[in-house]
């Protein structure tokens, strides 16, 4: 496991039952605060500062009188902001987790992760007709890494709308949408829950902070949330928009607050027993896999590549204490199968060297 900076965590975030929280604490040192929680010692911030140094930092903190707390303010300017001086047909001001982040900020197969945050779009907010993303869940590794798995985006239309977009592979579809106007100029509270796996689940709820009225919701209990050769999934928040129709846009400042990432095992050992399913930990693993709730009829563990090629097998002699040495496996995603008379159960596992 990677380590969080202890001093920053003591003062700026809380880690309870796998939950990491990033809260604004007042003006000054905003980039250091974000970095200390999302990727200590590295750079989880993607801002257009490089091409707009005269403006200063594009993320700062202000006191919000509606929430009565400090919040993050994300600036984006039609000109000269771009995408990190790399792409000039779009502009990006986002924070993220990535491969330098602590492990408990990265979603992997078998995990249930709950993402929470608040945001406020300013009055008169203008969307691109192409895309204006405010949140993404991105799969990292493998041939499909460039396409976000889930995207919350606003779009100029008649009327303007908020869209939840999804890509199982390399093409997106819209899962749900709603008129944008009721979501503008008001604080919104978002809860997004996902179980990562080839048979996963996903739900999102957006409610108005002032009265708890739900303005947008979607859920699916049987959806593919894992991609071939993926290493992990990471969240991003901010504003990322196309400049292809620049006449649709204006300078914006979007507010965010109370970011939270909480990892929860989708099935506890007790739940697994009720469902007669075995339970593997840790996941991801490096050297040793431990098995719990192994069915009595199981007599063989088989390990397959994600393409279905058998890598190894091991006979089960004692169902109460099953351990598998996986230190010889290369980094990647594998299928673990327990088999026996009238039994075949499989789960995905990630090896992280």
CB 352 within 8 A of CB 331: yes
Whether residue 138 is found in the same domain as residue 38 = yes
Considering only residues 350 and 353, tell me which one the structure prediction assigns the higher pLDDT: 350
Task: Say if residue 51's pLDDT is above 50.
Answer: yes
Is 1 a member of any domain?
no
Residue 269: is its pLDDT beyond 80? no
- Those residues whose C-beta lies under 8 Å from the C-beta of residue 24, and which sit 6 or more positions away, are 30, 33, 61, 69, 70, 71, 72, 257
pLDDT at 33 exceeding the cut of 90: yes
What confidence score (pLDDT) does residue 265 get? 64
Within a domain: residue 253?
yes
Task: Indicate the pLDDT class of residue 18, thresholds 50, 70 and 90.
Answer: low
Split at pLDDT 50, 70, 90, the class of 207 is very high
Instruction: Provide the pLDDT confidence category of residue 194 given band limits of 50, 70 and 90.
Output: very high
Residue 4: pLDDT over 50:
no
What's the domain count of the chain?
A: 2
* Residues 21 and 126 placed together within one structural domain of the fold: yes
Q: How many CB atoms lie within 10 A of CB 7?
A: 9
Q: Decide: 30 and 57 in contact? Cβ < 8 Å.
A: yes
Select the more confidently predicted residue: 277 or 292. 292
Does the structure show a pLDDT above 80 at 125? yes
| Average pLDDT of the segment spanning 156-170 | 96
Q: What confidence tier does 342 reach under pLDDT thresholds 50, 70, 90?
A: low
Residue 253, classed as helix, strand or coil, is: strand
Decide if 150 contacts 227 (C-beta within 8 A).
no
Mean pLDDT (the chain, rounded)? 88
Domain end marker among 224, 240, 264 = 264
CATH number at residue 54: 2.60.120.200
Q: How do residues 80-116 score in pLDDT, each as one tens digit? A: 999 999 999 999 999 999 999 988 899 988 889 999 9
Residue 1: the pLDDT is 35
Instruction: Please tell me the distance from the alpha carbon of residue 62 to that of residue 347, in angstroms, as a whole number.
Output: 46
Q: What is the mean pLDDT of residues 245-255?
A: 97
What per-residue confidence (pLDDT) applies to 104? 86
39: confidence class by pLDDT, cuts 50, 70, 90: very high
Residues 337 and 208 in one domain: no
Instruction: Quote the domain boundaries for residue 205.
Output: 6-264
- Determine what percent of the chain is predicted with pLDDT higher than 70: 89
Q: Which of 264, 284, 303 is the last residue of a domain?
A: 264
């Amino acid at each position: 496991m990677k380590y969080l900076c202890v001093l920053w965590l003591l003062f700026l975030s809380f880690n309870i039952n796998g939950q990491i929280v990033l809260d604004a604490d007042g003006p000054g040192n905003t980039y250091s605060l974000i970095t200390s929680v999302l990727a200590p010692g590295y750079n989880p911030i993607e801002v257009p500062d490089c091409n707009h140094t005269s403006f200063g930092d594009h993320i700062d903190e202000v006191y919000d009188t509606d929430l009565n707390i400090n919040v993050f303010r994300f600036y984006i300017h039609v000109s000269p902001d771009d995408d990190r001086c790399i792409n000039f047909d779009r502009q990006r001001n986002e924070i993220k987790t990535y491969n330098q982040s602590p492990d408990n900020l990265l979603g992997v197969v078998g995990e249930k992760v709950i993402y929470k945050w608040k945001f406020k779009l300013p009055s008169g907010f203008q969307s691109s007709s192409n895309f204006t993303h405010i949140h993404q869940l991105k799969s990292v590794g493998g041939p499909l890494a460039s396409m976000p798995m889930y995207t919350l985006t606003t779009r100029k239309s008649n009327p303007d709308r908020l869209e939840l977009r999804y890509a199982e592979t390399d093409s997106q579809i819209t899962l749900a949408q709603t008129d944008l106007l009721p979501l503008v100029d008001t604080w919104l509270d978002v809860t997004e829950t996902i179980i990562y796996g080839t048979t996963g689940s996903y739900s999102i709820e957006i409610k108005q902070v002032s009265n708890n009225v739900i303005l947008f919701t979607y859920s699916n209990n049987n959806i593919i949330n894992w991609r071939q050769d993926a290493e992990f999934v990471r969240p991003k928040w901010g504003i990322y928009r196309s400049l292809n129709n620049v006449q649709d846009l204006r300078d914006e400042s979007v507010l965010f607050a109370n970011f939270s990432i909480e990892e929860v095992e989708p099935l506890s050992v007790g739940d697994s027993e009720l469902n007669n399913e075995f339970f593997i930990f840790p996941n991801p693993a490096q050297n040793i896999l431990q098995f719990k709730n192994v069915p009595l009829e199981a007599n063989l563990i088989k390990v397959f590549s994600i393409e279905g090629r058998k890598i190894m097998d091991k006979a089960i002699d004692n169902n109460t204490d099953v351990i598998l040495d996986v230190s010889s496996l290369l980094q990647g995603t594998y299928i673990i199968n327990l088999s026996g008379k009238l039994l075949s159960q499989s789960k995905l596992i990630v090896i992280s060297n």
